[in-house]
Amino acid sequence: MRVLFAADGWDHWAPAIRAACPEAELLQSAPDDSVDAIIYAPNGPGCDFAAYPSARLVQSLWAGVERIAPDPSLTQPLARMVDPGLEQGMREYCAGWVLRLHLGMDSYAQDGIWRNAVVPPLAQQRRVTVLGAGALGQAVALALKDLGFDVVSWSASGRGAPGVPALAGRDLPQALARAEILLLLLPDTAETRGLLNAETMALLPQGAAIINPGRGTLIEDTALLAALDRGHISQAILDVFQTEPLPPEHPFWSHPGVVVTPHIASETRVETAATVVAENLRRVMRDQPPLHLVDRAKGY
């Protein structure tokens, strides 16, 4: 099986993929179109998918495929990356920030003043809503449930994690109205862009906090800044942005209600993702359907 690697990080990925799938011939370039599969990420050298009509799979190394799926030259089946290491990283990021907000850990200034008038509630008294019920959304919802939080998930389809109450499309106002802490883990699609705007943010409880490690396009920046300025939103933890890197002059950097993290909530881990790639390559060899195929119409 001939596999073209069209992504960044050859020196890291090649040994791991070869160890996980030694029966595949991994190539950095292919002089002809006799390629069975393509491993791809948008940060690499690029790829004209039309040049490889015989390829039976394009395996993304990224969880998000919004920069791949619209490519008109892409006619092959596209699989997104569902990586256990990426899920674990996202669980840790979201659980850490939810706990920090829940416990009010930033309210204790180290100035010699003894502030013990306010005791934080227990987790079961804190209502959390997770927008998005894909692999990452479900993993985060389950982690927060295990910590004792009152968690509900929302997605267009209404699917959710086992044991976590799930709301569907038209229930978005209900999902937002209960969210003392709101997490955004939705894909970037025509339906989700600008989902959190002035109208929908107004549905959140007074003083709600927002954590966005999903996609920068989910939030209208000006609406968020206005909601922060009037105190309706107490704090926003943002890891993804409309433009990345976030320009130094962007008001998010200096706003007291915003914490900027530089798109580090979670990354695809070579050591765990290589086994995912290997499984899909073997499925192609056996003429079996690959895992985690993208629905081109939905964009994820």
Mean pLDDT of the region 261-290? 96
Q: From the CB of residue 204, how many other CB atoms can be counted at a distance below 10 Å?
A: 22
Identity at 50, one-letter amino acid code:
A
Give the CA dihedral 23, 28, 33, 37, nearest 10 degrees. Answer: 50
Tell me the C-alpha distance between 180 and 205, whole Å.
6
Instruction: Please report the pLDDT score of residue 286 as a whole number.
Output: 97
Helices (H), the chain: 10-20, 84-103, 135-146, 172-177, 198-201, 221-229, 270-285
Band of the pLDDT at 82, cuts 50, 70, 90? very high
* φ/ψ (deg, to 5) at 208: -65, 155
Give the mean model confidence (pLDDT) for residues 191-210: 98
Share of the chain above pLDDT 90, in %: 95
Phi, psi angles (nearest 5°) of residue 43: -90, 10
Q: What is the CATH number of domain 84-260?
A: 3.40.50.720
**C-alpha 62: how far from chain center:** 10
What does the pLDDT average to over 241-256? 98
With a cut of 90, say whether residue 299 has pLDDT above it: no
**Confidence band of 33 (pLDDT split at 50, 70, 90):** confident
**Taking CA 128 as the corner, what is the angle to CA 89 and CA 153, rounded to the nearest 5 degrees?**
75
Mean pLDDT (the chain, rounded): 96
Which residue numbers are catalytic? 215, 263
Cβ atoms < 10 Å from Cβ of 78: 23
Residues of the chain with CATH 3.40.50.720: 2-83+268-285, 84-260
Going edge to edge, which strands form the sheet with 58-60? 25-27, 2-6, 37-40, 58-60, 78-79
The fold of the 2-83+268-285 domain, in CATH, is: Rossmann fold (3.40.50)
Beta bridge pairs of residue 131? 154, 184
The two structure tokens encoding residue 127: 């209502």
Mean of the pLDDT values across residues 220-246? 98
Q: Write down the pLDDT at residue 177.
A: 98
Buried b (16+ CB within 10 A) or exposed e, 83-96: bebbbebbbebbbe
At 31, is the pLDDT very low, low, confident or very high (cuts 50, 70, 90)? confident
Look at residue 251 in the predicted model and tell me its pLDDT. 98
pLDDT at 29 over 90: yes
pTM comes to 0.94
